């Protein structure tokens, strides 16, 4: 079964699921690539910026005792590390949602295709290959699409990004 015959055979629900998976796939790829590029940019400036913040705070509390000096610098570092962590986690909700729901959208497409196969058997009264081949093929395509969309999203989530902790 080629794509043209699959597309002509499929109904509105299957086409909607296909476009939904296509949109999720494009969205996760774009988000993942942007996260990689931002991570590289962030890695280049984190250490210098944190050092600069320490120096600014150090000059502001030069006349205080060691405990106060440590507390002020620690709070400044924690504040800036929190900002960098927030910046490095952008896009994770999109990727996580895509990784979580894409297999289920594919599974729904699978169930829909099996339903069509059973419906064809019921209307024709025969369980021949002609009645089930198209819907089962549709079901398998939807399963594969769901998995193909989820896997890159999971990979983009788990790629090593900038480690703020050290």
pLDDT in tens, 69-123: 788 888 888 888 888 888 888 889 999 999 999 999 999 999 988 888 888 788 8
Asked whether residue 140 carries a pLDDT value surpassing 60, the answer given is yes
Q: Which of 17, 29, 25 is nearest to 107 (CA)?
A: 17
The burial of 105, by beta-carbon neighbours within 10 Å (0-12 exposed, 13-18 middle, 19 or more buried), is given as buried
Kindly tell me if the per-residue pLDDT of 164 is higher than 60: no
Instruction: Please give the pLDDT value at position 102.
Output: 95
Residue 151: Cβ-neighbour burial (10 angstroms; 0-12, 13-18, 19+): middle
**Confidence category of residue 28, pLDDT binned at 50, 70, 90:** very high
Does this model's pTM top 0.85? My answer is no
Once rounded to an integer, what is the mean pLDDT over residues 149-166? 75
């Amino acid at each position: 079964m080629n794509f043209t015959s699959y597309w002509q055979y499929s109904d509105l629900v299957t086409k909607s699921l296909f476009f939904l998976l296509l949109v999720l796939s494009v969205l996760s790829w774009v988000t993942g690539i942007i996260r990689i590029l931002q991570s590289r940019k962030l890695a280049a400036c984190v250490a210098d910026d944190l050092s600069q913040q320490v120096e600014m705070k150090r000059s502001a509390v030069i006349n205080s005792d060691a405990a106060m000096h440590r507390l002020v610098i620690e709070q400044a570092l924690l504040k800036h590390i929190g900002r960098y962590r927030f910046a490095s986690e952008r896009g994770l909700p999109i990727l996580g949602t895509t990784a979580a729901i894409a297999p289920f959208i594919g599974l729904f497409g699978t169930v829909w295709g099996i339903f069509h196969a059973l419906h064809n058997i019921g209307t024709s009264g025969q369980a021949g290959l002609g009645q089930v081949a198209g819907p089962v093929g549709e079901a398998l395509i939807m399963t594969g699409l769901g998995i193909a969309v989820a896997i890159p999203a999971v990979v983009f989530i788990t790629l090593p990004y900038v480690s703020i902790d050290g």
